[in-house]
Amino acid sequence: MKLKLDKKDFKPFLQRLIDEYDLYGPVQLEEGVSVFKKIDQFEEIDLTHPNSQKPPKEIFFPQSEVMFRYEKVGKQNQIISLEEGKKERILFGARPCDIEAISIIEKVFVGEEYTDVYFLEKRKKTTIIGLGCNHPLSTCFCSSAGGDPFLRAGSDLFFIDLGEAYFVELLTEKGMVFHKNKFFKETDPKDLTFVKELEEKAFEKVGFSIPVDGIEKRLDLMGESSFWDRVHEKCIGCRICTYLCPTCHCFDMVDEGEHQRGQRVRNWDSCLSPLYSLETSGHNPRPTSRERTRQRLMHKFNYFPKNFNQVACVGCGRCILYCPVHFDIRKAIIWTSPKRPKRFEGGMI
């Protein structure tokens, strides 16, 4: 169902959502630093940032999450589970790449063998309102990674900024709940033409220049390639690329507190940290950044496609933008391929 929301109605529309739901959206913590968090007031929402630093994955998979508390009463150990909030939730203003990434994480967390209740609870309760990318950045390569700047998959409602209004599509059952929303209006044919124009412009900008296609097979043959000896060299082993990655989903569980009372917490973890693979004996099967960088790239582009038929990269470009030593994952992808676009010539990494 295709509808329209005038910009002048945007505030009352969102205010209504804030009142009725737990609404999550992009917020600037500081000029240029954007994250997704719970919105209490309309004014907090900021849609000017092209791509938040932290992706909205943390709305479903928080960086640090208490799983349960424990307490010893007399001789009895008690486990106290935490009640999830009852309120329905809305994620507003997420980009198609980040929404695609949530589906990717879901493949791991809601699988045939295991179900992660913490993720699933939040996912079930959330309606996703996607926002089309009119102005993808030069670091974006979603189309090469199987998505596109206007990919609707995963969104329940999809917004496209037409300037004076938002073009609104209701895509799923959850989205259709809004079909009688008093702020939505009928569209007219010229809106559709405009949407098409915006889409074409964005597609053209993103292009298909990064050879993600076929990377799984290429990496099959590269387990001990000398490629790994060079590609890792400048990596300093921080966790930026994995924490800001919308698809990275590794976590570590710790008990905080003492044996009388405490809580079990899970925190994001990163394969680029030596601690990640350090065993109790002191042995580390991934002793240097060579092995750790290989793990990061192999997981995204070889192991994950083997398990789930899809690369674990959506081409959002965050790891390129925020790497302190300017490691460009596009270059790594390109170097696995014989087809190299001209602008990436001039040596490795």
Residue 254, interface with another protein (CB under 8 A)?
A: yes
**Of 144 and 187, which CB lies nearer to another protein in the complex structure?**
144
- Backbone φ, ψ for residue 217 (5° rounding): -65, -40
Question: At which residue do the structure tokens 């189309």 appear?
Answer: 143
By CB under 8 A, is residue 239 in contact with another protein? yes
Minimum CB–partner distance for residue 205 and another protein (Å): 9
Q: Is 344 in the site for another protein (CB under 8 A)?
A: yes
Stretch that binds another protein, among 116-124, 151-159, 304-312, 326-334 (CB under 8 A): 326-334
For another protein, give the closer residue by CB, 84 or 256: 256
189 binds another protein (CB under 8 A): no
- Angle in degrees, 0-180, between the axes of helices 117-124 and 96-109, rounded to the nearest 10: 140
Report, in Å, the least distance between residue 192 CB and another protein.
Answer: 25
Nearest to another protein of 80, 254 (CB atom): 254
Sign of the C-alpha dihedral, residues 274, 36, 109, 212? negative
Residue ranges with strand state E in the chain: 2-6, 22-30, 33-38, 64-73, 76-81, 89-94, 126-131, 157-161, 165-170, 184-186, 251-257, 261-268
Nearest CB to another protein, comparing residues 33 and 117: 33
Nearer of residues 109 and 327 to another protein, judged by Cβ: 327
Among 50, 120, 194, 303, binds another protein (CB under 8 A): 50
* Nearest residue (CB) to another protein, 110 versus 238: 238
From 275, 281, 283, 339, residue interacting with another protein (rule: CB under 8 A): 275
SS3 content of the chain, % helix, strand, coil (to 5): 35, 25, 40
In the list 289, 293, 302, 336, the residue contacting another protein (rule: CB under 8 A) is: 289
How many residues touch another protein (CB under 8 A)?
48
- What number of other Cβ atoms are within 10 A of residue 283's Cβ? 9
233 is an interface residue for another protein by CB under 8 A: yes
For residue 78, the one-letter residue type is Q
Instruction: To the nearest 10°, report the CA torsion of 315, 244, 130, 83.
Output: 140
11, 72, 87, 135: residue in contact with another protein (rule CB under 8 A): 135
User: Torsion angle of alpha carbons 343, 204, 131, 106, nearest 10°?
Assistant: -60
Distance in Å, CB of 100 to another protein, minimum: 22
| C-beta of 203 vs 344, nearer to another protein | 344
Q: How many residues are there in the chain?
A: 349
> 177 or 278, CB closer to another protein?
278
- Angle (CA) 75-77-79 rounded to 5° is 160
Residue 130 has which token pair?
């996607």
* Token digits of residue 106: 């879901």
- Whole-angstrom Cα distance, residue 35 to residue 56? 7
- Catalog residues that contact another protein under the rule CB under 8 A: 29-33, 50, 53-54, 63-64, 135, 137-139, 230, 233-234, 236-240, 243-244, 252, 254, 256, 265, 267, 270, 273, 275, 288-289, 320-322, 324-328, 330-331, 343-344, 346-347
